[in-house]
Chains A and B, each alone.
Chain A
């Protein structure tokens, strides 16, 4: 496999993991623009553990995810007491504080960055991405998925149905941070070097944007969003910066024309309903008798 293709696949895998990290809170109705902060926590803690204690990346990366999740749990209580725009701003402030703190931690290199000795190859990176995808898909087939989406749609009614709204919000927030942390850990152990400057607000916003591009109504949306974001620009040669310009312009067009994203619940229904005998067109409804 050519080095170029390998590079694309790695990027795709990392972006997919980041995407699912964003998907969890978004599906539960939270706009989290501090994801880069949790990716950074995962990246730095997994790199530290594998550099200093020689822990194998296959274990260090999940540890990084767990550290990110634990920190998320600690801040979740005050953060999730805020609502809507305040929540988004709190996650934003959180991401900035994390980035700034890591910039100052000389134990992990500070502003000069932190080299990572252990290395994981493409199959491992892809393996992590596939595992994350499968676990999120599975999770969303459970009552958790239905409850999280109910919380996203109507917190008040979800609460009256007996759903512990705050509990689900914290769970979605923490799980999203766990996955983002794993994304950071994968990045660290493949690119062999991490710096706090990379985990900035632009990264957080970009991730949220391509997840919204794919659509948050279904579990396939993040995959499509990450794929489009990673692969489409390869078709347009040109510098990385022009690709971002085109991507951002695309998002703006999308929000104006189809804000629910590329993959919606309705689209999936239409794609898969040929095998469901119970679906008829709405016109047939009137003849039914109670």
Chain B
């Protein structure tokens, strides 16, 4: 029987130069869910992503993905366990065009001597190229295929990065502030797009976000961290009403009118 949680962090601890950046963090992400990881700036959210993807090694604790202990798996192999991510500041390869960037995302499915020697750029009909091209088209980005990514609008770059992440056919998709820098219309589009991806593709979503409206619309479950510690966990509604969460965001417990205003905005 497969584990109910596709991601498990167990007593994870990470220190940088004497500072406890992640402190005894334990939480799980249910398979197929859309979960948000929120917290004030500096809480360690991106660090959590870096630990899950292997950019940093944990000092103590364990990380399980899909039942497998990946704590000591090298970072280049974690994608083989079904983990893919996007980045806070979009990190596409500036010297590759959009299509080639998406093709990079396929690499994990195409390793090995013969995989690497696949002539993806030689003919028009290479199947990997077709797959990448189709993915860009499905995301409405077909016209940017051969564009230099550096000159594209920020929102477009973010969408390309998402397509790239999906090329690895991940089971767990980590998105670092996917709505940052997007206008309300784009944010809505993104939210719907991510729902579709999760439902159709059997992908679990873990999102780091600041935009609480986006989180409320997209996610069923929220984990709150502050100074590297888990503060609270629950549905977006639970979290909004949690005093501890309000304290860390607002400093002091908010007044009644402020709470009512929040409640009205959420509905």
- The reply to whether A and B meet directly (CB within 8 Å) is yes
| Chain A residues engaging chain B, CB cutoff 8 angstroms | 138, 140-147, 149-150, 152-154, 156-165, 217, 265-266, 269, 273, 276, 278-280, 282, 284-285, 288-290
Q: How far is the CA of A157 from the CA of B91 in the complex (A)?
A: 7
Complex: A165 Cα to B55 Cα, angstroms: 14
Chain A residues with CB under 8 Å of B105's CB are 161
Q: How many Å from the CB of A150 to the closest CB on chain B? A: 5
Q: Known contacts A138-B119, A157-B93, A278-B145; can you find 20 more A-B pairs with CB under 8 A?
A: A138-B122, A140-B121, A141-B120, A143-B117, A146-B96, A149-B95, A153-B94, A153-B95, A153-B96, A154-B93, A158-B104, A160-B55, A161-B79, A161-B107, A162-B76, A164-B76, A279-B147, A282-B147, A284-B143, A289-B140
**Pairs across A and B, CB under 8 Å, 24 listed:** A138-B122, A140-B121, A143-B107, A143-B120, A144-B117, A154-B93, A160-B75, A161-B104, A161-B105, A161-B107, A161-B108, A162-B76, A162-B111, A162-B168, A217-B95, A265-B95, A269-B146, A276-B145, A278-B146, A279-B143, A279-B146, A285-B143, A289-B140, A290-B193
Cβ-based interface call for B253 (8 A): no
For this complex, into which size category does the number of interface residues on chain B fall? 35 or more
In the assembly, what is the distance between CA of A153 and CA of B119, in Å? 21
Q: How far is the CA of A157 from the CA of B55 in the complex (A)?
A: 10
Cα A95 to Cα B168 in complex, Å, equals 41
Report the number of A-B residue pairs with Cβ-Cβ less than 8 Å: 123
Give the complex CA separation of A74 and B78 in angstroms: 29
Q: Which residues of B contact A156 (CB under 8 A)?
A: 55, 91
Q: Which residues of A contact B75 (CB under 8 A)?
A: 159-160
Task: Knowing A149-B95, A160-B53, A288-B140, say if A165 contacts B122 (CB, 8 Å).
Answer: no
Report if A143-B76 is in contact (Cβ < 8 Å); known contacts: A153-B93, A278-B142, A282-B152: no
The complex places the Cα of A161 from the Cα of B145 at a distance, in Å, of 20
Whether, in the assembled complex, B250 has its beta carbon less than 8 Å from a beta carbon of chain A, the answer is: no
The listed residue (B79, B110, B193) touching A160 by CB distance below 8 A is: B79
Please provide the chain B residues from 93 to 118 with a CB less than 8 Å away from any CB of chain A in the complex: 93-97, 100, 103-105, 107-108, 110-111, 115-118
Least distance between A139 CB and chain B CB atoms (Å)? 8
Closest Cβ–Cβ distance, residue A93 to chain B (whole Å) = 29
Q: Which residues of A contact B91 (CB under 8 A)?
A: 154, 156-157
B120 with A163: CB separation less than 8 A: no
The answer to whether A162 touches B143, judged by C-beta atoms less than 8 angstroms apart, is: no
Interface check B266, CB cutoff 8 A: no
User: How far apart are B34's CB and chain A's nearest CB, in angstroms?
Assistant: 19
Shortest Cβ gap from B208 to chain A (Å) = 16
Residue B85 CB within 8 A of the other chain = yes
Chain B residues, CB < 8 A from A266: 148
Q: How far is the CA of A152 from the CA of B94 in the complex (A)?
A: 10
Least CB distance, A168 to chain B, in whole angstroms: 9
B189 within 8 A of partner (CB): yes
Give a binary string over B138-154; 1 marks a CB under 8 Å from any A CB, 0 the rest. Answer: 01101111111001110
Please indicate the chain A residues that have their CB under 8 angstroms from the CB of B151 in the complex.
282
A261 CA to B53 CA in the complex, in Å? 36
B74 — nearest CB in chain A belongs to which residue? A159
Q: How far is the CA of A118 from the CA of B97 in the complex (A)?
A: 47
* B57 contacts the other chain (CB 8 A): no
Contacts of B100 in A (CB 8 A): 146, 149
A146 near B95 (CB under 8 angstroms)?
no
Q: Which residue of B lies closest to A153 (CB)?
A: B93
For residue B96, which residues in chain A have a CB less than 8 angstroms away from its CB? 146, 149-150, 153
Q: Is the CB of A285 within 8 A of B146?
A: no
- Bound complex: CA of A143 vs CA of B97, how far in Å? 14
Nearest 8 pairs of A and B residues by beta carbon: A162-B108, A153-B93, A141-B122, A141-B121, A162-B79, A290-B140, A162-B107, A159-B76
* B72 part of interface (Cβ distance < 8 Å): no
Q: Which residues of chain A come closer than 8 Å to B107, judged between CB atoms?
A: 143, 147, 161-163
